Amino acid sequence: MIRHLRTIVDLSRAEIEALLELARLIKRLGLPESYARVTRGKTLGMLFQKPSTRTRVSFEVGMVQLGGSAIFLTEDSLQLKRGETIADTAAVLSRYLDLIVLRTRDHGFLVTFAEHASIPVINGLTDQYHPCQILSDLLTIQEKFGGLRGIKLTYLGDGNNIAHSWLLGAAQLGLRLTVASPAGYEPEASIVAQALELARETKAQIEITHDPIAAVQDADILYTDVWVSMGMEETRQGGCSAFHPYQINGALLARTGKPTKVMHCLPAHRGEEITDDVLDSSASIVFDQAENRLHLQKALVTQMLVWAAERA
């Protein structure tokens, strides 16, 4: 059975931990030759329906550094635009490529594509989930804190794909997570329920609240994202005022009561969800996060190709 990364729960806790270890190894020493034999000469396809800086560049550069190549595709450049089915497109691209990253609006598009692909499919972002971001964030947290145990992360803002993936990732790994969102902008109830169900098994501590002040108390990490996600601009017009109490600024950061790190998946709307003085401060590890997209995704591509080779 082909392994895909549709959401972070497609990986077990042990697999996530092994992936983080491989990413640390690659970052420190480069890819071991035993893995390089798997990645050398392989081709990664990148089918993107949304703009991208970090996801595109990190996957493309990473694949080249692994000894392979990458092809960037847009919906407009394929026959999808003229009515070819997702299933047929997946079947055809599977004959040319070794694995593919999809960055798309509709998570259902990715699920359907994966169902009909005979190569690994990686979720490079959908409106519901962004697993690659959270995996690389976990790598960054490990580096900065020496591990994940006991760390409290507070996410502030829209209950979007980042919040959803943090809920599932924290639940899968048994972490402490508080999500603080304005009323009406909470994470999807079904995803919260899934996270809470997982948390019962892993002993994770998951909290959903509307109170940003209470949420940040004793937090080791404050995390935020844009208030209006890509593709949501029209539906969220005029809604930003509800988010103002959730802005990460100096005053809110001081409320944690401890030395706290600040994370943002980028791009940032400076002066909205986060202020310049915080984003550019010593508390910020935002650009370390961005760098670690490269290292984690090199590990992810390698592992997916290893699993595919084992199946062959």
Instruction: Assess whether 54 carries a catalytic annotation.
Output: no
Q: In the chain, how many domains are there?
A: 2
**Amino acid making up residue 229:** S
265 noted as active-site residue: yes
Asked about 40 being catalytic, the answer comes back as: no
Residue 127 a catalytic site member: no
DSSP secondary structure, 206-218, as one string: EEEES-HHHHHTT
Quick check: is 1 in a domain? no
Cis ω before 267 (30° cut-off from 0): yes
Residue 148 and residue 116 share a domain: no
Residue type, 29: L
Q: Are 72 and 284 in contact (CB under 8 A)?
A: no
Q: Please say if 194 is a catalytic residue.
A: no
161 and 19 in a common domain: no
Structure tokens at 123: 């979720």
pLDDT at 273 over 60: yes
Active site includes 98? no
Q: Are 102 and 62 in the same domain?
A: yes
My answer on whether 174 and 104 are in the same domain is no
Q: Are residues 124 and 22 in the same domain?
A: yes
Q: Are residues 75 and 118 in the same domain?
A: yes
For residue 2, tell me if it sits in a domain.
no
Instruction: Residue 68: give the domain boundaries.
Output: 8-130+293-311
In the chain, the N- to C-terminal Cα span, in Å, equals 10
Check if the beta carbon of residue 38 is closer than 8 Å to that of residue 306.
yes
Q: How confident is the model at residue 112 (pLDDT cuts 50, 70, 90)?
A: very high
Residues 242 and 138 in one domain: yes
Q: Please pick, among 103, 107, 176, 295, the residue that the annotation labels catalytic.
A: 103
Q: Which of 49, 133, 142, 297 is catalytic?
A: 133
Q: One of 128, 164, 225, 264 is an active-site residue; which one?
A: 225
Average pLDDT, the chain: 95
* CATH code for the domain in which residue 170 is found: 3.40.50.1370
pLDDT at 203 over 90: yes
Enumerate residues 6+ apart whose C-beta is below 8 A from 105: 49, 50, 126, 127, 231
Residues 162 and 275 in one domain: yes
Structural domain includes residue 162: yes
Q: What digits encode the pLDDT tens for the residues 227-267?
A: 987 555 554 455 589 999 999 999 999 999 999 999 999 99
Is 112 inside a domain boundary?
yes
Shared domain check, 297 and 241? no
3 in a structural domain: no
> In terms of domains, do 16 and 101 share one?
yes
Residues 55-102: pLDDT tens digits? 999 999 999 999 999 999 988 888 988 889 999 999 999 999 999 999
AA letter at 218:
D
Catalytic residue among 4, 54, 56, 130: 130
Torsion over CA: 205, 105, 305, 39 (sign): negative
The one catalytic residue among 142, 176, 220, 265: 265
Domain check: are 159 and 32 in the same one?
no
